[in-house]
Chain A
Amino acid sequence: MMLPRGSRLSLAIMTALLILLQFYVRPRLWDTRFAPDFLLILLLVIAMVTRPGMAAIAGLVVGLLSDALTPVNIGAGMLAHALVGYLAAWSRVVFFGENYLVHLGLFLGACWVRNVLVALLGGLGRGAVQYEALVGGLLQGLTTAIAGVVVVFVVREWMGVRLEA
């Protein structure tokens, strides 16, 4: 699905803002392990307005960026983000009744799945997978979900995100 010109401009502005939040505001927040992941929010907002294939490519790019900054196992983040992007765009078709609660669940679930996948594919060990599944992924997912809903509320008009009361 191609975005209209206005939406493309909005997407560019939103991308710049979320990158700014990720790299300039996020380090200033509390414990960065549980701080919201604005790059994941960007990926999920893109997934909301594009087709699954494009969302997967966006996920690949976001994953490459993340992997380049923490190069333990390059490719783990790319695969995890590509799958999450694809699944998020595909889930739009399933959840017709899109509201804030659904988006909250989508952001939380996506962050949790991403963290568990990175721990699994990155060969971080059983302990790391358990930690991400039970503690780290859930806490970061919660903060990311709250921040994500705020972002969706702000950009819903520009990006044409469907929302019900």
Chain B
Amino acid sequence: MLRASDRSDSRRDTVMLLGCVAVSLLFLLLPDSAGQQVAGALRSTVLAPLVWLQTEAELGRTSRSRFHEVTAERDSAALAAQGLPVLRAENGRLRQLLTLSRRLPPGFVAAEVLHQSQASDGRMLLVNAGQARGVASFQPVVAPEGLIGAVASVGPSSSTVMTWAHPDFRVSAFTEDGRVAGVVAPSLATTASEAGLEFRAASYRDTLLPGTLVLSSGLGGVYPKGIPVGVVRGVAREQQGWERVYALEPAARPGVAAHVMILTGTDSILQEAFPGDSILEAAREDSLAAVARTDSVLRVRLGDSVKAWVRDSIARAAVMRDSALRAVP
């Protein structure tokens, strides 16, 4: 039989548990923005030393285990960079011909991913770069292999990244050849760390072969154009004969990414480098200019021909007149 004190303790334990459950449910029912604010406040105060500690550990691990890999990457990049000035000059000339503005190189902030032990780690990553390094919300985050996601919330020295595995993730995309455009979203049938992607809104008549590369299209103003998103694996499903949804093999895996780059200042790049209808406008202007040039050339040539003909005629007339005068005794 339980003693009175045991019963009292037991009741107190139950009340404490119920209190904990109530607090947890309150947090669960909070709007996302409020929850993010609480998490951000905790990360920038109480958890700041722990985040710093983990950053140091990640840096230590990276410096040891990735040294040879980074050296090899650097050598490859150095080799590729040797031909870069020629390509850049050629690119500049071609852009000048199309009256496109200069393509600005995107700025970026390198960051280490601080993986956590919770099952939701693959959907929301913690990275060790924040406001102090120029990071802001909605900046795209990429790994060397391709797109990871976008910055969701920013603290002074850390940020959270919503990866493509998050149910709210969407990116406007198109195939490498530019033939098919659509929207890429996560497929919710798989796990957080090993989730797959889907290429949606592709019209029924367009068929994509497995292995086709899908890139971000630059529409929407968050992700710049040309970031690899994934590779087509096959048809995931078809909807009523008007849409095909393709399964994509993601280009980059957030669950195992150790190092990412946060692209900063991409808005201005998109606006300046890819202005609306610029190519059509340039082509039209070029055509008009070409026609005008041709006309003027023709005019000049016609004028020259007429002048030459007149000159020749005068000369011939003069010669004939001189001959005629010499012939007269």
| Chain A residues close to B by CB (< 8 Å) | 19-20, 22-28, 31-33, 35, 37, 39-40, 51-54, 56-57, 59-60, 63-79, 82-83, 86, 115, 118-119, 121-128, 130-132, 136-137, 140
Contact = CB atoms under 8 A, between A and B. Distances in A.
Contacts of A123: 167
Interface residues of B, number: 60
A59 B20 contact: yes
A54 B16 contact: yes
Contacts of B192: 119, 124, 128, 131
B255 A33 contact: yes
Interface of B: 9, 12-17, 20-21, 23-30, 35-36, 38-39, 42-43, 47, 50-51, 53-54, 56-58, 60-61, 114-121, 123-126, 152-153, 160, 166-167, 188-195, 255-256
B56 A24 contact: yes
A74 B30 contact: yes
Contacts, number: 184
Given A33-B255, A51-B9, A124 B123 contact: yes
B120 A124 contact: yes
B326 to A, nearest CB: 108
B35 A70 contact: no
A73 B191 contact: no
Given A33-B193, A74-B28, A75-B25, A65 B123 contact: no
A73 B13 contact: no
Contacts of B195: 127
A126 B12 CA distance: 36
A82 B13 CA distance: 12
A82 B188 contact: no
A27 B24 contact: no
B166 A72 contact: yes
A128 B191 contact: yes
A143 to B, nearest CB: 10
B176 to A, nearest CB: 29
A136 B120 contact: no
B117 A79 contact: no
B116 A71 contact: no
A115 B119 contact: yes
Nearest to A28: B61
Contacts of A25: 57
A76 B124 CA distance: 14
Contacts of A37: 117
Contacts of B123: 70, 72, 124
A40 B118 CA distance: 10
A118 to B, nearest CB: 5
Contact of A127 (B12, B56, B117, B190): B190
Contacts of B9: 51
A75 B26 CA distance: 8
A96 to B, nearest CB: 16
A160 to B, nearest CB: 18
A112 B142 CA distance: 32
A74 B255 CA distance: 19
B26 A31 contact: no
